[in-house]
Structure 1
Amino acid sequence: MYVLETDAGPYLVDAGWDTEEGWSALTAGLRALGTRVEDVRGVLVTHSHLDHYGLAPRIREVSGAWVSLHALDAAGLAQFRADPASLSAALLRRAGAPEAEVRKALDDIGTRSGQDAAPPDRHLTDRERPDVPGWDLTTLWTPGHTPGHLCFWEPRHRLLLTGDHLLPRTTVGMHQPRDETDDPLGDYLETLEPLVRMEPDLVLPAHEYRYTDIAARVGEVRDHHAARTALAVSVLREGPVTAWQLAGRLRRSGSLEGLRGFPLRATVSRALVTLAHLRRLGAAREVPGPPPYWTATARLQRCPGVFPG
């Protein structure tokens, strides 16, 4: 979370988890700056994940502040009302996981109710200028991690607030493709070079730590995804695979052995995202199941060097 100080009161970028620990950390942090939650005038949320959006409605209730989010992510808040176990089961079955693995994953999660997140007051769009007195903020629509992820650029201070879009150490996951034309990874990769061209002096991510060399970090991220894509291409050339099988092949260990809970779901999700990217490139196609599986296209088989990553 970041605090933008203004003469009208503080504005926040992201809000943190809706937990008592999160609330205590927020109030203590604002107190250390000489202000209070009651003084907050606006909350600019980078994306809808609940470690970013969670406390925003509670902050609004206490302070009267407005809360903003991209419209695509505002629509996505409804997904958090679903039972997490059912969402995980649907993901694993979509990937072609054996039913025994699906049942094991359900046992890991157990029965839990979803969370109801109240909607934002404002929908921000690409290249919009949020009303934050004394700051020259511009929104940058950067889809990939979520459909409506936003970064915020402040040219006078050369600051780029990246949310989860570009972290200094972790390569973030992408949202699940919403239909056969959706390519979250491709959309994500297209956003990177425009951020480099802004030449920020300081990058402020939502996790880990601040950094300065955005060009170097973008190069690392591109190399990571190129290597994964190239490996997926080589696997597809060997023959049809399920996304579940590919997820294991993309790991250094070569299998999903030992993975449980969230790491397993994230690994399988990333395989599906890579396959959706190859589909958009014309290199792969999905064949309905059960289980659904993926195969190389004739174009890929005819042209060995066309899809290196």
Structure 2
Amino acid sequence: MDGDRVSGTGRPPKGGRPRLTRVRPGLWSLPIPLPGPLGHVLVYVLETEAGPYLVDAGWDTEEGWSALTAGLRALGTRVEDVRGVLVTHSHLDHYGLAPRIREASGAWVSLHALDAAGLARFRADPALPLAALLRRAGAPEAETRKALDDLGTRSGQDAAPPDRYLADRERPDVPGWDLTTLWTPGHTPGHLCFWEPRHRLLLTGDHLLPRTTVGMHQPRDETDDPLGDYLETLEPLVRMEPDLVLPAHEYRYPDIAARVGEVRDHHAARTALAVSVLREGPVTAWQLAGRLRRSGTLEGLRGFPLRATVSRALVILAHLRRLGAAQEVPGPPPHWTATARLQRRGPGVFPG
């Protein structure tokens, strides 16, 4: 079937929905519907003589399954023909359909080991990450109970483990394609991008979207700095000079350097705002989360927006701790203060 021009971005018209499009000969972008503002996940179909391989799988809903099967049929193939699923990270909008594809086709499913471990914890207790986040942030107990009630009976039991683990700089077995894995932690501990040097294509999962600045995973311990890890991955990606960036949401784009500059500016501005709040006195991460919003409060936030906002505050505080600008004081509730090093610097952004 005919696709868009290979240099196109696949950006849908305002108010439109993305469609199945050809990115390069043998490489297709297949949109899978997704609840929420992002609207869809872009599954990339790599055609080979052995059968199709997928990068990411989509959210596990009947609508998503129907979109996947219909898209593959339009390419003259079937889910049963899929040979492998390379998942960029463990979030269920990317991993969700992978076990179902494997059951239908016998395909292998791959993931980074760090994300596979997180997936196993989610299978054991889907509520645990949310409860730990809110209590560490110093959320009022009533707010924690309300958030857990909102989570309901959501289950992670269907998120079966992968068959293969991929690490940094591996070359997955995809016939006819020269893929290399790039470990890009930040959004999740084991997030992977995929580099195809012959076509100069960079498949970035959620690591670099063209419009949305993605959130980071929760710090796992006192030495963990997801934001710092994320920022360190950006310049090496720019130096690769891809002709086209293929993200898992929104649309493709050509200028990775410009997008990286925008992302860095965004995080610098959020970090500077957190520094100004810390200089005023001790705060919990819950309080900082409200101050980072334009409204100055968390009032009215529920569900995912609340979790994302609180997590962002903890991520910034962990980054400032690694920079020597903030320290965590045990609670209850735990709170954060500016270090003497930060206070000595006077007004301005830290680091200078």
1:9-34 Cα distance to aligned partner (Å, 9 max, x none): 11000011122222111110000001
Contact 1:57 / 1:118 at 8 angstroms: preserved in 2?
yes
| Distance in 1 (alpha carbons) for counterparts of 2:139 and 2:124 | 21
Aligned residues: 309
Please state how far the C-alpha of 1:305 moved relative to its aligned partner: 4.7
Please state how far the C-alpha of 1:8 moved relative to its aligned partner: 1.2
Aligned to 2:8: none
Q: Does the C-alpha gap of structure 1 residues 86 and 125 become closer, same or farther in structure 2, counting only changes over 3 Å?
A: closer
Alignment identity in percent? 94
| Distance in 2 (alpha carbons) for counterparts of 1:86 and 1:132 | 36
Aligned to 2:58: 16
- 5+ residue gaps, structure 2, are 1-42
| Distance in 2 (alpha carbons) for counterparts of 1:2 and 1:122 | 19
| Distance in 2 (alpha carbons) for counterparts of 1:111 and 1:63 | 30
Aligned to 1:304: 347
The reply on whether 1:123 has 2:165 as its aligned counterpart is yes
Contact 1:78 / 1:116 at 8 angstroms: preserved in 2?
no
Aligned to 1:182: 224
1:183-231 Cα distance to aligned partner (Å, 9 max, x none): 0000000000111111111111001111111111111100000000011
SS at match of 1:229: helix
Q: Does the C-alpha gap of structure 1 residues 114 and 64 become closer, same or farther in structure 2, counting only changes over 3 Å?
A: closer
Contact 2:225 / 2:318 at 8 angstroms: preserved in 1?
yes
Q: Does the C-alpha gap of structure 1 residues 105 and 140 become closer, same or farther in structure 2, counting only changes over 3 Å?
A: same
Aligned to 2:189: 147
Cα RMSD (Å) of the superposition?
Answer: 1.5
Contact 1:81 / 1:113 at 8 angstroms: preserved in 2?
yes
Please state how far the C-alpha of 1:55 moved relative to its aligned partner: 1.3
| Distance in 2 (alpha carbons) for counterparts of 1:84 and 1:131 | 32
Please state how far the C-alpha of 1:304 moved relative to its aligned partner: 4.7
Contact 1:16 / 1:50 at 8 angstroms: preserved in 2?
yes
Q: Does the C-alpha gap of structure 1 residues 213 and 69 become closer, same or farther in structure 2, counting only changes over 3 Å?
A: same
Contact 1:145 / 1:174 at 8 angstroms: preserved in 2?
yes
| Distance in 2 (alpha carbons) for counterparts of 1:105 and 1:58 | 30
User: 73-82 vs 291-300, which deviates more?
Assistant: 73-82
1:77-97 Cα distance to aligned partner (Å, 9 max, x none): 113225544532332111011
Q: Does the C-alpha gap of structure 1 residues 148 and 85 become closer, same or farther in structure 2, counting only changes over 3 Å?
A: closer
Contact 1:300 / 1:306 at 8 angstroms: preserved in 2?
no
Please state how far the C-alpha of 1:246 moved relative to its aligned partner: 0.4
Instruction: Give the TM-score, by structure 2 length.
Output: 0.84
**Runs (4+) off by over 6 Å:** none
Please state how far the C-alpha of 1:99 moved relative to its aligned partner: 1.8
Contact 1:8 / 1:41 at 8 angstroms: preserved in 2?
yes
Q: Does the C-alpha gap of structure 1 residues 239 and 167 become closer, same or farther in structure 2, counting only changes over 3 Å?
A: same
Contact 1:233 / 1:308 at 8 angstroms: preserved in 2?
no
| Distance in 1 (alpha carbons) for counterparts of 2:180 and 2:193 | 8
Please state how far the C-alpha of 1:308 moved relative to its aligned partner: 4.5
1:254-281 Cα distance to aligned partner (Å, 9 max, x none): 1112211110111000000000000111
Q: Does the C-alpha gap of structure 1 residues 169 and 111 become closer, same or farther in structure 2, counting only changes over 3 Å?
A: same
User: 49-58 vs 226-235, which deviates more?
Assistant: 49-58
| Distance in 2 (alpha carbons) for counterparts of 1:62 and 1:16 | 15
Please state how far the C-alpha of 1:50 moved relative to its aligned partner: 0.9
Flag the structure with higher helix content. 1
Contact 2:272 / 2:349 at 8 angstroms: preserved in 1?
no
Aligned to 2:104: 62
Please state how far the C-alpha of 1:303 moved relative to its aligned partner: 5.5
| Distance in 2 (alpha carbons) for counterparts of 1:241 and 1:263 | 21
| Distance in 2 (alpha carbons) for counterparts of 1:62 and 1:238 | 57
The residue correspondences of 1:76-225 to structure 2 (distance < 5 A) are 76-225=118-267
| Distance in 2 (alpha carbons) for counterparts of 1:128 and 1:114 | 28
| Distance in 2 (alpha carbons) for counterparts of 1:214 and 1:196 | 6
Q: Does the C-alpha gap of structure 1 residues 113 and 152 become closer, same or farther in structure 2, counting only changes over 3 Å?
A: closer
1:44-73 Cα distance to aligned partner (Å, 9 max, x none): 100011111111122112212111111111
SS at match of 1:67: strand
User: 49-58 vs 111-120, which deviates more?
Assistant: 111-120
Aligned to 2:117: 75
Contact 2:111 / 2:165 at 8 angstroms: preserved in 1?
yes
Q: Does the C-alpha gap of structure 1 residues 110 and 38 become closer, same or farther in structure 2, counting only changes over 3 Å?
A: closer
| Distance in 2 (alpha carbons) for counterparts of 1:263 and 1:26 | 28
Contact 1:82 / 1:113 at 8 angstroms: preserved in 2?
no
1:269-298 Cα distance to aligned partner (Å, 9 max, x none): 000000000011111111111110000111
SS at match of 1:84: coil
| Distance in 1 (alpha carbons) for counterparts of 2:154 and 2:56 | 25
Q: Does the C-alpha gap of structure 1 residues 77 and 135 become closer, same or farther in structure 2, counting only changes over 3 Å?
A: same
Q: Does the C-alpha gap of structure 1 residues 119 and 85 become closer, same or farther in structure 2, counting only changes over 3 Å?
A: closer
Please state how far the C-alpha of 1:109 moved relative to its aligned partner: 2.8
- 5+ residue gaps, structure 1, are none
Contact 1:83 / 1:112 at 8 angstroms: preserved in 2?
no
Instruction: Give the TM-score, by structure 1 length.
Output: 0.96
| Distance in 2 (alpha carbons) for counterparts of 1:177 and 1:87 | 11
